[in-house]
Amino acid sequence: METKLIIILILMIAGAIHSLHARDLLSAIVSYGVVGYSLVVGFLLLKAPDLAIVQIVVETIALIIMVSVLIISTREDLAEKSTVKIKGQSYVNIRNLSFVFFALVTGVMLLYFFNIVTTGLPELGIHETRMATEYIANGVEGTGSINLVTAVVFDYRGYDTLGEATILFTAVMGILAILRLKTHKI
């Protein structure tokens, strides 16, 4: 199973890199879809059907929303140049340089923390945490829900679900506020 996962991960990385470098934004969105749908196959291989259902539907609707944004805006990628020409003289684009700098710093930090985290993890498919053992042993009697994921999401970890729903609500309010502002100005 790990070789299958490795193949899928390589496919995801290839899709992500292509979506970064594609000149046409529609092909960038399509190759971004490769990442999402490979993630669905990965979830199914790791035996998480709940996550796979959510991921496949959310991925489809996210692609539709991104394409509908693409229709509104431009289709060409407006890449930023490394030098700017003002009145014949060329200057170095500091914004571009700072982007590269922050990307490098963030990458090094992520690698460092990833290294710390992965040394302490148990092997794939084996859990040693106290809470998980408790949930699996007493989940059905405690909540009455056969599906253990729903029992954790809506009973043991109700606060987190409330936060999730609030995040979605706030995102919709932000989008509606921004679009309403623009239409009124025009």
Partner 1 sequence: MKGMTIIVKNVTALLAGLVFLYGCYIVLHGHLTPGGGFAGGTIIAGSFILLVIANGIQYFRLKKEKEESSMFEGAGILCFLLLATGGLLLSVPVFFRNLLPGGTPGELFSAGVIPLYNIFVGIEVAAALLSIFLAFVIYKTEE
Interface positions with partner 1 (CB under 8 A): 49-50, 52-54, 57-58, 60-61, 64-65, 68-69, 71-72, 140, 143-147, 149-151, 153-155, 158-159, 161-162, 164-166, 168-169, 171-172, 175-176, 179, 182-183, 186
Please, which residues bridge with residue 84 across strands?
91
Count of H-run helices and E-run strands, the chain: 7, 2
The smaller minimum CB distance to partner 1, of residues 71 and 121, is found at 71
Taking CA atoms, 185 is separated from 70, 74, 179, 180, in Å, by: 21, 20, 10, 9
The Cα 112–Cα 106 span in angstroms is 10
Q: Retrieve residue 3's tokens.
A: 């070789």
Nearer to partner 1, 120 or 144 (CB): 144
Closer of 57 and 97 to partner 1 (Cβ): 57
Q: Is 89 helix (H, G, I), strand (E, B) or coil?
A: strand
Q: Is 71 helix (H, G, I), strand (E, B) or coil?
A: helix
The CB-of-177 to partner 1 minimum distance in angstroms stands at: 10
Shortest separation between residue 42's beta carbon and partner 1, angstroms: 16
Nearest distance in Å: CB 36, partner 1: 13
CB of residue 153 to partner 1, shortest distance in Å: 7
Nearest approach in angstroms of CB 63 to partner 1 is 11
Nearest to partner 1 of 102, 169 (CB atom): 169
Q: Is 137 helix (H, G, I), strand (E, B) or coil?
A: helix
56, 40 contact by CB (below 8 A):
yes
User: Of the two residues 97 and 162, which places its CB atom closer to partner 1 in the complex?
Assistant: 162
3-state secondary structure of 84: strand
